[in-house]
Amino acid sequence: MPARPWRRAPASYSLLLGCLLCLAFLTLLQTGRAAAQAPGNTYTVQAGDTLASLATRFGIPLEELAAANNIADVNVLYVGQILNLPGGNASRPGAAARPGDTIRSIAEREGLSALQLAALNHTAPTVRLFPGQPVHRPGDIPPPATALRFGSVQIVNVPQSVVQGQADWLQVEASRPLPLTAHWNGVPLGIRPIAIRGEDGTGASRADTVTVWGGYIPTTALMGPGVFTLSLSYVARSGVTVTRTFPVQVQDGLFPYQQIDLPPEKVGLLDQELLRSELDHLWTIWSRTNTPIQWRQPFRLPLPSAFPMTSPYGARRSYNGGPYSSFHSGQDFAAPGGIPVVAPADGIVALAEPLTVRGLSVILDHGAGLFTGYWHLREMLVAPGALVEAGDPIGLVGTTGLSTGQHLHWELRIYGLAVDPMSFLTKPLFSLLP
């Protein structure tokens, strides 16, 4: 039987065959990518990965992950590099990405915060995920308050969220003395050892003791809302810097808006150069963190009687009809001139002098980077270096500086950041210690 002459396949058939081959190739390629990232004992480095972020993601101490992969410089990785995961909990339960998913689409589908979900997965809300890629949700990862794989650091208590303008407490327990440092959104925190106790809580034996570290996580009224990163680091005995990061969500503080009308003779006090110069002077004081902790119990009000509170902390302010370009950094009390102002807690007088914008001013250093300030006084009753106890008079209410009437401006700063002082009326220093 003579061979059939060769015929050209119809164009539609060729197109269909090409599409099927392309689909098969893409499926094979996608399967390979998914397999490379699937839970197991290895991980393929992706763009944006760091060794520190991967150590946090898989619950492996950074120094252990570096040693398992013969990595001398923990800051050097390349895309496509395959890492061994020694004992990593890569199979931790989580959501699985669908075709076309992003962090944002998963968050919307599951009723979660896209920003928080992105922080938990060390990526951005709009990054496209590959099908089947594991996505950790807030409930899938053990909270930081439980034991964790972090070398000599055994327990880390980090708040999951903080309201704008508030300060929350960070507490860490380590099995040996070590040089621990903490950074909050890139700013160093004054975390320090605050107690040494036995692991069984008795404190009976130095051989079985843990060092308890503590420090505040401050937020200003203009920080966020959003998810920010808190990192803890120390240098291990091997010389490798061990780091873990924790996401903290800053929630909206819902602050009011105020219009302030200044008399003509005080408008000049809004000069930006004048404000900047005075702030620079005060930062030399607020930056001190080496003063021993002076207080333990909640603060008291700085006035002996309950005078009306007027302008609250965080209020957005407009002066003489201008834009709302600043916020109120403290709490105001409408008190008659000459009323005594008292120390709300034990401290050391760090400043007592006339300032151009803030008027006659007193600043108390309460230790470990926490300061309170008292502006617009009529008279100062203390001198720098003096030790004061809670309830001691430090000045008299006045209206000096940038003020439109007799009142007390009470301010609280942690590591130089102004936070709401009213929250410290119910907050002891060591709230997590037994």
From the CB of residue 1, how many other CB atoms can be counted at a distance below 10 Å? 3
pLDDT in tens, 330-363: 999 999 999 999 999 999 999 999 999 999 999 9
- Residue 116's H or E segment, with its range, is helix 114-120
Q: Give the pLDDT score at 392.
A: 97
pLDDT beyond 60 at 81 = yes
Q: Are the CB atoms for 191 and 156 separated by under 8 Å?
A: no
Of the candidates 141, 91, 98, the one whose C-alpha atom is nearest the C-alpha of residue 117 is 141
Average pLDDT, the chain: 80
- Amino acid identity of residue 405, one-letter, is G
Report the pLDDT averaged over residues 291-306: 88
pLDDT beyond 90 at 406 = yes
Q: Alpha-carbon Rg of the chain, whole angstroms?
A: 29
CATH number belonging to domain 147-251: 2.60.40.10
Q: Give the pLDDT score at 345.
A: 95
CA distance 312 to 54: 43
Tokens of 278: 């005075």
pLDDT beyond 90 at 53 = no
Of the candidates 358, 354, 356, 405, the one whose C-alpha atom is nearest the C-alpha of residue 379 is 354
Q: What is the DSSP secondary structure assignment for residue 50, as one 8-state letter?
A: -
Which sequence spans correspond to the domains of the chain?
A: 32-140, 147-251, 257-425
Superfamily for the 32-140 domain: LysM domain (3.10.350.10)
Domain 257-425 has CATH 2.70.70.10: yes
From the CB of residue 161, how many other CB atoms can be counted at a distance below 10 Å? 15
Task: Give how far Cα 285 sits from Cα of 166, 299, 302, 381, Å.
Answer: 21, 21, 21, 19
pLDDT in tens, 258-290: 998 888 888 898 898 999 999 999 999 998 888
